[in-house]
Structure 1
């Protein structure tokens, strides 16, 4: 089928017609669409709070997917005592820490996940990640895992300045990070299920969310 207007589009299931084109429909179709529109608006008013929760959750889903992939890369990265291997561990650790911390920011960009929802035995690990983000990766602040300075040597001809850097990290990430990743994946799924069930109870309609196969790196 070829769209009659650039404002009309379709996918495998539906043809989408913007509301501004309704006036051009035959009266019998217009009446049917107007009725359906009002039904949808009534349902959306009833479900407003849960839909806002769903929007916040939607922000977290891509982030948790990225987090699990970064951790997979960190876990499987080959490590030896070379500058390249050190920089790769630093790069992946930075990505993990920053991505994880995004899930716990406040404000309109937040995902609605709080520290209090994390299992007690993982809260100190969570706090350590947030501290890493604040004091090492988001700013050039001070953190016990990194330090730098210079050494100045002098002889009769010149001053020689040497950079000294101490960098600490967990090769492959901390073991507890895997527990946090698995917790967050399960937590997001549970929240999604609860929201969809509440929406069904409030509106009387089924609410579905597309779920595909788990990526190859999950669980590895």
Structure 2
């Protein structure tokens, strides 16, 4: 029986490798969903701490989302529902220009004022950051679409393994994280 089990496992070795990659990425999907919900529920105040909290939550959503879109187990832009592709592009643009690099982005503007007074140069730097308080309204739909893509990918792999081996394959799961 053990030899039969090894033969069966060997026959789905490729699918098991793919499943491991998808499941590793799925942990990021769960984190993305959690942070996006926290951001959506965020109660903003006009305090520096609130701006920093908003920046942190926005950064995590953007960076985690883009991380799921790129790499060997990520999904492509074409797999995103067509009505969500423009928000997908905005998130990728935010990541590339605002968070990953110091390129110009429409949510960031700055100005450096220089003047001469009392025989010295005075400098004043002004920075303006744009935010969607609570995240962009389309983000929950985008996060849900990504979660669905990953769940479908897992189901397809399990179905392919069943087809190859004539055995059921079930992924154990615990309770969903509490909201």
Q: Which residue of 2 aligns with 1:98?
A: 63
Q: What TM-score comes out, normalization by structure 2 length?
A: 0.92
- Return the alpha-carbon distance in structure 1 between the equivalents of residues 16 and 114 of structure 2: 61
Q: What TM-score comes out, normalization by structure 1 length?
A: 0.76
1:202 to 140, 156, 164: 164
- Return the alpha-carbon distance in structure 1 between the equivalents of residues 163 and 135 of structure 2: 42
- Return the alpha-carbon distance in structure 2 between the equivalents of residues 140 and 171 of structure 1: 22
Q: Which residue of 2 aligns with 1:9?
A: none
Q: Which residue of 2 aligns with 1:39?
A: 4
RMSD: 1.5
Matches within 5 A, 1:69-80: 69-80=34-45
1:62 to 27, 31, 38: 27
Q: SS state of the match for residue 127, structure 2?
A: strand
Q: Which has the higher contact order (CA 8 A, sep 6+)?
A: 2
Q: SS state of the match for residue 112, structure 2?
A: strand
Deviations 1:92-115, CA, capped at 9 Å, x for gaps = 101110000111123xxx324111
- Return the alpha-carbon distance in structure 2 between the equivalents of residues 191 and 70 of structure 1: 23
Mapped contact 1:56–1:112 kept (Cα < 8 A):
no
Deviations 1:20-57, CA, capped at 9 Å, x for gaps = xxxxxxxxxxxxxxx50x22321122112322221221
